[in-house]
Amino acid sequence: MNAPPVTGGTDTPIFEARDVSLRFGGVRALTDVSFSIRKGELFSIIGPNGAGKTSMVNCISGRYRPTDGKVFFKGQDVTPMAPNQRAALGIGRTFQNLALFGHMTVLDNIMVGRHNQLKNNFLTGALYWFTGARKEELAHRREVEEIIDFLEIQHVRKATAGTLSYGLRKRVELARAVALKPDLILLDEPMAGMNLEEKEDMARYIVDLNEEWGMTVVMIEHDMGVVMDISHRVIVLDFGRKIAEGKPEEVLADPRVRSAYLGEDDVEVAPAAPQQEVA
């Protein structure tokens, strides 16, 4: 682990979780989870259903506040911060269940993502109606077009988001998160419910985001093939505890991971077959 990883990720951590625990009454969603994500890394969180993956992502984005433990972003303790403050610092996310603004156009959806990049606030915007605010928006429109080009959604830019197909809506949601220009982007099951072709496209966008756009990516995904192909590092959660961390192939070889996925009564599993969809 001391040697710098072959691909992606520097040694400086961009995010760190220290002994994060999350309880809802008597239910322990997370117990003492610690890990750090390096800048520029493509990092995956996997685990069986109900393992606490989404809870973990919610702790990163600020939707949940850990019951115990702290979370650090760029060296700063962000534990008490609200989601919108963390978004302003550079944490973007998508949601497991599609959460587009259904009645807005695709373009407006993405413009909401740019919200934080606009410098004019309500008052200056109102005072300089015909100067600064307008010009600024035009500059942002250009950047939005870049994102639209990147995710290949030009043809639907004026369409109402709620009327699009599932795969397209997932892409628009990603575009909206990218528009925030986050340093850390959290993708909660970006490929759920997609067909093979859509999954391949999505995987390509994610890799490009990481490599070309320089974003650190945290991904929750059930498709092990994709996770193993594109992740630099993986952590595995089971019943709210971290049971493994490391390169994909190392993690997959870990007997605890296999028992978590396949049950305690461990049958012999061929280690050479990591490409199947588990869970």
Partner 1 sequence: MNLLFQLLVNGLIVGALYGVVAMSFVLIYKASRIVNFAQGEFLLIGAWACWWLLTHWQLPFYIGFPITLAFMMIFGVVLQVVVLRPMIGEPIISVIMVTIGLSIFFQALMKWMFGVFAKPFPPIFASPTMNVLGLDVQTVYVVSLVISILIMAGFGWFFKFSRMGLAMRATAFDQQVAQSLGISVRQVFAMSWAISAMVSAVAGVVVGVVNGVSSALSFFGIKVFPAVILGGLDSVVGAVVGGLIVGLLENMAHYVDSQWLNFGNMYEIAPFYVLIAILMVKPYGLFGTKDIERV
87 contributes a contact to partner 1 by CB under 8 A: yes
Please name which of 65, 80, 78, 66 lies closest in space to residue 15, comparing C-alpha atoms: 78
Q: Find the shortest distance in angstroms from Cβ 18 to partner 1.
A: 23
Residue 139 interacting with partner 1 (CB under 8 A): no
Toward partner 1, which CB reaches closer, 174 or 226? 174
**How far is residue 267 CA from its own chain's centroid?**
33
Is position 63 an interface residue for partner 1 (rule: CB under 8 A)? yes
Tell me the window of 45-53, 67-75, 105-113, 228-236 that interacts with partner 1 (CB under 8 A).
105-113
Rounded CA gap, 104 and 86, in Å? 25
Q: Give the nearer residue to partner 1 in terms of CB position, either 137 or 198.
A: 137
- Residue 250, sorted as left (phi over 0), alpha (psi -120 to 50) or beta, turns out to be alpha
Shortest distance, CB of residue 238 to partner 1, whole angstroms?
26
How near is the Cβ of 71 to partner 1 at its closest, in Å? Answer: 15
Q: What is the β-pairing status of strands 233-238 and 42-46?
A: parallel
Amino acid identity, position 111: M
How does DSSP assign 19-73, residue by residue?
EEEEEETTEEEEEEEEEEEETT-EEEEE-STTSSHHHHHHHHHTSS--SEEEEEE
Closer residue to partner 1 (CB): 169 or 232:
169
Binding stretches for partner 1 (CB under 8 A)? 61-63, 82-84, 87-88, 92-93, 95, 99, 101-104, 108, 111-113, 115-116, 118, 120-122, 125-126, 129, 133-134, 137, 160, 162-163, 166, 176-177, 180
